[in-house]
């Protein structure tokens, strides 16, 4: 009898928790579709705690790695090299953005808009940890709401798009990488005589999948793909990657290509969060903040 009661208790508990998990999943999915959310204090606390714990655990490894880098490779030369590399990367990025503006319209106004876009303030952040599951691709950052970060802000490094902030706490945040299966970015081929548009999706692997909007679109190996600005999340002209393979697709309605990301996700240490959210996301979040508890966000 006691055994039966214990089993019944376990079954009831399992059913209750499974229902709770499903409700949480649906809620989280809705929040993610709206660009992510600011985590409540109880869950944010854990994320905040992770950063110092991670620093403590990683300190010996980082120390050895730092020593090798700094003293073997000569401190001054390395720093100078890094500064120059940063400068080159910034100029390259500016170059890409200006080329994008010129190609798109060839008008001074576009260039000015692009320059304004490039003036978006950025918050540097250190990568404080990788995803704890091998089936998802996200990173923890050591900067949060106290530093101006909000869910839905784009994350980049000197090479291009890294991902998107999906959760923030006062002192930490989580960003979903482009590689994640849930990641979708609206991209466009930068070549002037192509301008093929499509969705760039994460595959969970090291490469991205470019689903072209038009089957006859002109895409070639070596084409640079940048953000189109149409997805309502990323500003226009940020580098996504290079086309390395074009799949003809046979009878399929969708033509796809494989993209090698511009960012080396295996070596991410420092990233920059663009302190910018698209007008669509701003409206969505403003509506959520104004809505009474329990109300549905617009568009959901």
Partner 1 sequence: MSRAGALFGLSLAGLMLRGVVAEYLPAVLVPDLGLVMAVAAGLHLGSVGAILVSFALGLVGDLLSGSLLGQQALVLMTLAGVTSLADRQLQLKRSLPLAVFAAVATVAAGALLVASTSLYEGRLVPDAGLAVGLLLHAAVNAVVAPPLAAAVGRVLPEPAVRSGRAPGFFGEGLGR
Name the residues that contact partner 1, by CB under 8 A: 6-7, 9-10, 13-14, 17-18, 20-25, 27-29, 32, 39, 43, 46-47, 50, 53-54, 57-58, 61, 127, 129-138, 140, 166-167, 174, 176-177, 180-182, 184, 203-205
Q: Least separation, in Å, of the C-beta of 258 and partner 1?
A: 11
Taking the C-alpha atoms of residue 41 and residue 31, their distance in angstroms, rounded to an integer, is 17
Compare residues 104 and 162 and give the one whose CB is closer to partner 1. 162
Q: Least separation, in Å, of the C-beta of 202 and partner 1?
A: 10
Compare residues 106 and 206 and give the one whose CB is closer to partner 1. 206
Compare residues 184 and 275 and give the one whose CB is closer to partner 1. 184
Q: Least separation, in Å, of the C-beta of 137 and partner 1?
A: 6
Q: Least separation, in Å, of the C-beta of 99 and partner 1?
A: 32
Q: Least separation, in Å, of the C-beta of 136 and partner 1?
A: 3
Which residues are paired to 203 by β-bridges? none
Compare residues 39 and 273 and give the one whose CB is closer to partner 1. 39
Compare residues 77 and 253 and give the one whose CB is closer to partner 1. 253
Q: Least separation, in Å, of the C-beta of 78 and partner 1?
A: 20
Compare residues 66 and 121 and give the one whose CB is closer to partner 1. 66
């Amino acid at each position: 009898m006691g055994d039966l009661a214990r089993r019944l208790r376990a079954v009831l508990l399992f059913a209750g928790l499974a229902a709770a998990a499903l409700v949480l999943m649906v809620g989280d999915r809705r929040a993610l579709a709206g660009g992510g959310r600011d985590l409540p204090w109880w869950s944010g606390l854990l994320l905040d705690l992770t950063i110092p714990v991670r620093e403590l655990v990683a300190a010996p490894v980082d120390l050895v790695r730092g020593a090798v880098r700094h003293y073997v490779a000569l401190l001054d030369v390395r720093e100078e090299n890094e500064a120059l590399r940063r400068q080159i990367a910034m100029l390259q990025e500016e170059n890409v953005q200006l080329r994008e503006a010129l190609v798109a319209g060839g008008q001074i106004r576009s260039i000015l808009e692009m320059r304004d876009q490039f003036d978006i303030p950025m918050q540097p952040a250190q990568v404080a940890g990788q995803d704890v599951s091998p089936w998802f691709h996200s990173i923890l950052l050591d900067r949060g709401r106290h530093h101006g970060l909000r869910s839905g802000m784009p994350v980049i490094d000197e090479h291009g798009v890294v991902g998107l902030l999906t959760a923030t706490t006062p002192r930490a945040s989580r960003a979903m990488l482009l590689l994640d299966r849930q990641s979708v970015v609206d991209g466009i081929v930068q070549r002037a005589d192509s301008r093929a548009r499509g969705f760039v999706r994460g595959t969970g692997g090291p490469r991205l999948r470019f689903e072209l909007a038009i089957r006859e679109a002109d895409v070639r190996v070596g084409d640079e793909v940048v953000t189109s600005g149409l997805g309502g999340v990323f500003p226009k002209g940020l580098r996504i990657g290079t086309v390395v393979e074009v799949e003809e697709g046979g009878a399929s309605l969708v033509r796809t290509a494989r993209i090698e990301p511009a960012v080396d996700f295996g070596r991410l240490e420092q990233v920059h969060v663009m302190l910018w959210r698209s007008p669509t996301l701003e409206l969505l979040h403003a509506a959520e903040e104004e809505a009474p508890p329990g109300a549905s966000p617009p568009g959901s």
